[in-house]
Amino acid sequence: MLPMRRFLFALPALTVLAAAVATTDAQGVPFSQHGSVAQRVSHTLIEIGYNRPVARGRVLFGALVKWDSVWHPGADSATVIRFDKDVQVAGRRLPRGEYSLWVIPRQRAPWTLIFNAQARVFHSPYPGPASDVLRVDIPPEAGAHMETMAWYFPVVGRDSTVLRLHWGETILPVHIRVSREP
């Protein structure tokens, strides 16, 4: 009789565990897969971690992503960028560190790229301007369709690089300069 009592006592816990496993299996693989990219430029390491949303036939900018509103360029958790040394972004100094990235897309004007000190946050809500470390305005460019959002480095020089945010037909080129000194 004692083993039956132990079983009955453990049954609720086993039921909860089985339900959790079934929920995980039912969800399957998320639509927005995790991605990361790293690039060394001279003596500086730049690393980005993000989740990659998929266009799936949707109108992206001006519909899914609203004009003139703070937007998180990724999915789920905020996109995180790390610099192991001080850099310049679009000609402006940015101290080494880890930041979440945010963007204000605009229909007929340069977009604003925001580096926020609150790095480990969910993609919503935006932590707010009080913790912004740097804001730079960058004109977007048109390009070939990119179904799944990507951050990548198409140009790497001795002391500079271009980091691109690319989704749909929109590219945001971020010019980064580093020191050649160790």
DSSP 78: P
Inside any domain, residue 92: yes
Inside any domain, residue 8: no
What are 145's two structure tokens? 């369709």
Inside any domain, residue 84: yes
Helix H, strand E, coil C: the string for 129-157 is HHHEEEEEEECCEEEEEEEEEEEEEEEEC
Span 9-18, average pLDDT:
42
Residue 120 pLDDT: 86
Inside any domain, residue 182: no
**pLDDT(10) > 50:** no
Domain range for 154 is 31-177
**pLDDT(22) > 80:** no
- Between CA 40 and CA 49 the distance in angstroms is 15
Nearest to 34 by CA among 81, 75, 82: 75
Residue 146: which residues within 8 A CB-CB, separation 6 or more? 55, 166, 167, 168, 169
Span 98-104, average pLDDT:
97
Inside any domain, residue 101: yes
Query: Domain count of the chain?
Result: 1
Inside any domain, residue 123: yes
Inside any domain, residue 5: no
pLDDT tens string 128-143? 999 999 999 999 999 9
Inside any domain, residue 3: no
